[in-house]
């Protein structure tokens, strides 16, 4: 039997390795160039920290899931942008990869502080009870240790030892791919009984959330189609690794983890299909 403790450990290891790998592939100059574009960063913050959470709350109110832990899972993902799949999908879509990389790093780093704050207000609001809460202090410490610090290690290695970072980047990316596949496999096995109970209505709600996230990113992503593609995919792809860290450590064994996993799979597949459609489309 797969225990919650084992899943928590695997999630943490995967996230740490993934963030180091991301840092190894990003130069401080690239990151600074995006950070200096205040208008773009502000739009990305609005899309990811205002629009997506607001859309999620609206859809949860409209669909009103019976299990109160289901909204907790969706709200966790709504508060956690900066997925590492964004730049890859943006490259496939022929979007601005440099922008996607910079936004991913900025959003992933900032979510260590913003996500606990958002969840502190959103979870009681949706549940109608102050008892459904996350330990904000614990989340900040956990995300600093598993996300921000490893990211800084990778960025530092790229800056101070670029030759070594270049050699480590490919094996680090391979390790990330392997760990992500292993993690999804383990969580799928552990939570398959709960996943099989999701009805068509639930998938329609998740599809509506994905489509609305695309719209928010596209509308705020201009000027230029390349930037729009980058922000659209960056906005729709929530950080499932971070979401699983929060969900398994606070609501392990509940439908909250199932919601994170189910929507995580749908958003990745859907955004990849969108990227492929853009790749095939004539400019």
- The whole-chain average pLDDT of the chain stands at 84
Angle, alpha carbons 28-95-164 (nearest 5°): 35
Token readout for 269 is 């597949």
Q: Identify the residue whose tokens are 């009103």.
A: 64
CA distances (Å), origin 62, targets 92, 123, 142, 253: 34, 16, 33, 26
**% of the chain at pLDDT higher than 70:** 94
pLDDT at 4: 63
Rounded to an integer, what is the distance from CA 102 to the centroid of its chain? 15
> Which domains are assigned to the chain?
4-277 (1.20.1530.20)
Quote the distance between the C-alpha of residue 282 and its chain's center.
29
Is there a contact between 214 and 232 (Cβ–Cβ < 8 Å)?
Answer: yes
Distance CA 96, CA 25 (A): 16
pLDDT tops 80 at residue 179: yes
User: pLDDT-based confidence at 26, cuts 50/70/90?
Assistant: confident
Structure tokens at 128: 């109608």
51 CB contacts (<8 Å, ≥6 apart)?
213, 216, 220, 235
Q: State the pTM of this model.
A: 0.81
pLDDT tier at 276, thresholds 50, 70, 90? very high
| Bigger pLDDT: 24 vs 43 | 43
List Cβ neighbours of 129 (8 Å cut-off, separation of 6 or more).
none
CA 106 – CA 224 distance, rounded (Å): 21
Half-sphere exposure of 121 (CA within 13 A, CB side): 11
pLDDT digits (tens, 9 = 90+) for 147-161: 778 888 988 998 899
CA dihedral 42, 47, 51, 57 (to 10 degrees): -120
Q: Is the pLDDT of residue 104 over 90?
A: no
Instruction: Find, among 122, 132, 46, the residue nearest to 77 by Cα.
Output: 122
When pLDDT is cut at 50, 70 and 90, the band that residue 131 belongs to is: low
Task: Give one DSSP letter per residue of 82-140, joined into a string.
Answer: --TTHHHHHHHTT--HHHHHHHHHHHHHHHHHHHHHHHHHHHHHHHT-TTS---HHHHH
């Amino acid at each position: 039997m797969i225990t919650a403790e084992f899943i928590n450990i695997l999630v943490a290891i995967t996230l740490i390795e993934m963030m180091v790998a991301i840092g190894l592939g990003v130069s401080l100059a690239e990151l600074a160039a995006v950070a200096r574009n205040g208008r773009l960063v502000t739009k990305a913050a609005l899309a990811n920290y205002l629009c997506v959470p607001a859309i999620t709350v609206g859809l949860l109110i409209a669909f009103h899931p019976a299990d109160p832990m289901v909204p907790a899972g969706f709200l966790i993902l709504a508060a956690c942008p900066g997925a590492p799949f964004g730049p890859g999908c943006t490259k496939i879509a022929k979007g601005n990869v440099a922008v996607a990389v910079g936004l991913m790093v900025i959003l992933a780093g900032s979510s260590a502080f913003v996500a606990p704050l958002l969840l502190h207000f959103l979870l009681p609001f949706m549940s109608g009870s102050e008892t459904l809460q996350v330990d904000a202090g614990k989340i900040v410490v956990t995300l600093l240790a598993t996300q921000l610090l490893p990211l800084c290690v990778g960025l530092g290695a790229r800056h101070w030892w670029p030759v070594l970072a270049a050699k480590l980047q490919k094996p680090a990316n391979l390790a990330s791919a392997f760990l992500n596949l292993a993690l999804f496999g383990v969580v799928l096995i552990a939570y398959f009984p709960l996943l099989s109970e999701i009805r068509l209505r639930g998938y329609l709600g998740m599809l509506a959330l994905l489509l609305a996230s695309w719209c928010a990113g596209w509308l705020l992503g201009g000027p230029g189609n390349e930037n729009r593609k980058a922000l659209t995919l960056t906005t729709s792809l929530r950080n499932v690794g971070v979401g699983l860290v929060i969900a398994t450590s606070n609501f392990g064994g509940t439908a909250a983890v199932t919601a994170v996993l189910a929507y995580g799979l749908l958003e990745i597949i859907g955004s990849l299909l969108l990227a492929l459609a853009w790749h095939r489309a004539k400019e």
